């Protein structure tokens, strides 16, 4: 069977550094940090009192106020990015076969705030008997964003959520890519969203010692590959990509951002939360993606790394890159946009895929900010080009995006410049 080619024709983003794709990209290129004091709740008693929150988000710009009340914040973000992406793609829904348009949209955690709020209300008022919001379950479950997007547009194609912690939305993109190239759909709305900057989310990650506690320097706390890194900075938001079969896109005259070249998946099979110290799963997932794309490692120009700013994770990923790419590793641009957006958990893969695609489109590699001169980890080879502190112009024909999740889930997607 001859596999169909798959291209990206629409993008949508709500992030801590911009509530649209153009704003997101401008701030990435300019090295803007999205970190600041937590405003979603009083975090004064928490070890970590800052995060990368979305700013000035108004759900009613995208959803009727009454409908928005039936949705957790993570679903509101999903609706917002899906609307931007579908609009950007130029799809005329009235002219499409809606049975051939699907939605694969994930969340690593889902409606944690809704769960926290409803259970909290029960325990503070239990003498009155159990009283729960009738929308409690559909607000909370991590598949509901995909369902809400399909309901909004009437898309009857494949519809489900992926959930693989911080690899979630890369897995959504991978599944969408595979279904389209197998001819199971013409178009799939893919991506992920997350909204976990609430007491249970921050407290849970604090208890694991996963978050930075640099409360006095929030904007500089996410510092991937720096020796002084002390954990990740939690982010929130969403990203959405419209993946489309090439001939279908050409037939309707769609603009094409990039082509999806290949995907890879693997497992560390090592630890609940820590990556393998030698990067075994990371090496395997990148090799799998390159094999799927039928690419030589030397063809890759840019890697948007997982790069969370954790002591072990950054080391293992840098080791994996050197092993997979050999001497070419030193010719690559590498950057972690989490240094600016924070870690969007299940939405990270989609948002970082958008950054990778725009690097191809614009010939600019966004930076890894917050690296200080002399701040070197002896376990990391600083001969690698981590694009520290300032964006770099270069032709990017191929970009690879890595995401790794708790449980040892690894997912990788490769994009390339579209050519006939």
- Which residues have a catalytic role annotated? 166
Residue with tokens 């595979």: 178
How far is 380 from 360, CA to CA, in rounded Å? 27
Q: Give the residue from 238, 58, 88 showing the smallest Cα distance to 148.
A: 238
Q: What phi-psi label fits residue 120: left (phi over 0), alpha (psi between -120 and 50 degrees) or beta?
A: alpha
Query: Cα 211 from chain centroid?
Result: 18
Helix (DSSP H) and strand (DSSP E) numbers for the chain = 13, 14
DSSP states along 323-374? HHHGGGGGTSEEE-THHHH-B-GGGHHHHHHHHHHHHHHHTEEPPB--PPTT
What are the angstrom distances between the C-alpha of 247 and each of 309, 357, 361? Answer: 41, 20, 21
Smallest Cα–Cα separation from 413: which of 263, 287, 307? Answer: 263
List, as one string, the DSSP characters of 381-398: -TTS---BSS-EE---SE
Beta bridge partners of 11: 241
Angle CA(248)–CA(252)–CA(257) in degrees, nearest 5? 75
Exposed, middle or buried: residue 58 (CB in 10 Å: 0-12, 13-18, 19+)? Answer: exposed
Q: Is 253 helix (H, G, I), strand (E, B) or coil?
A: coil
Distant-in-sequence contacts of 34-38, Cβ < 8 A, 24+ apart: 34/235, 34/340, 34/341, 34/342, 35/218, 35/219, 35/221, 35/222, 35/233, 35/342, 36/218, 36/219, 37/218, 38/197, 38/202
Q: Quote the CA–CA distance of 301 and 407 in Å, as a whole number.
A: 29
* Separation of alpha carbons 135 and 237, rounded Å: 22
> CB of 387 within 8 A of CB of 334?
yes
């Amino acid at each position: 069977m001859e596999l169909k080619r798959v291209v990206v024709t629409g993008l949508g983003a709500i992030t801590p550094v911009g509530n649209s794709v153009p704003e997101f990209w401008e701030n990435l290129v300019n090295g803007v940090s999205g970190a600041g004091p937590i405003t979603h709740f009083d975090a004064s008693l928490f070890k970590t009192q800052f995060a990368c929150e979305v700013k000035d988000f108004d759900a009613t710009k995208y959803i009727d106020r009454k409908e928005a009340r039936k949705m957790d914040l993570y679903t509101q973000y999903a609706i917002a990015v899906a609307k931007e992406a579908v609009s950007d793609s130029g799809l005329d829904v009235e002219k499409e076969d809606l049975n051939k348009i699907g939605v694969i949209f994930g969340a690593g955690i889902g409606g944690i705030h809704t769960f926290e709020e409803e259970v909290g209300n029960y325990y503070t008022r239990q003498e009155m008997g159990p009283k729960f919001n009738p929308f409690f379950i559909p607000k909370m479950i991590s598949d509901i964003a995909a369902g809400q997007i399909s309901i909004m547009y009437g898309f009857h194609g494949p519809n489900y959520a992926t959930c693989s912690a911080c690899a979630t939305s890369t897995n959504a993109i991978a599944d969408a890519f595979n279904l389209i190239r197998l001819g199971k759909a013409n178009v799939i709305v893919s991506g992920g969203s997350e909204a976990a900057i609430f007491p249970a989310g921050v407290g849970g990650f604090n208890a694991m010692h996963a978050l930075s506690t640099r409360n006095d320097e929030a904007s500089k706390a996410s510092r991937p590959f720096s020796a002084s890194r002390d954990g990740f900075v939690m982010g929130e938001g969403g990203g959405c990509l419209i993946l489309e079969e090439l001939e279908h896109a050409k037939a309707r005259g769609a603009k094409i951002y990039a082509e999806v070249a290949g995907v890879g998946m693997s497992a560390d099979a090592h630890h609940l939360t820590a990556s393998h110290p030698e990067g075994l799963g990371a090496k395997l997932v990148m090799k799998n993606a390159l094999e799927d794309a039928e690419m030589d490692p030397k063809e890759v120009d840019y890697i948007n790394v997982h790069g969370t700013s954790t002591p072990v994770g950054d080391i293992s990923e840098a080791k994996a890159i050197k092993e997979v790419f050999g001497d070419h590793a030193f010719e690559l641009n590498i950057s972690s946009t989490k240094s600016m957006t924070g870690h969007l958990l299940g939405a990270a893969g989609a948002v970082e895929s958008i950054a990778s695609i725009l690097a191809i489109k614009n010939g600019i590699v966004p930076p890894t900010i917050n690296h200080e001169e002399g701040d070197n980890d002896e376990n990391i080879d600083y001969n690698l080009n981590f694009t520290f502190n300032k964006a770099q112009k270069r032709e990017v024909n191929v970009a690879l995006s890595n995401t790794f999740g708790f449980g040892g889930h690894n997912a990788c997607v490769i994009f390339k410049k579209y050519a006939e």
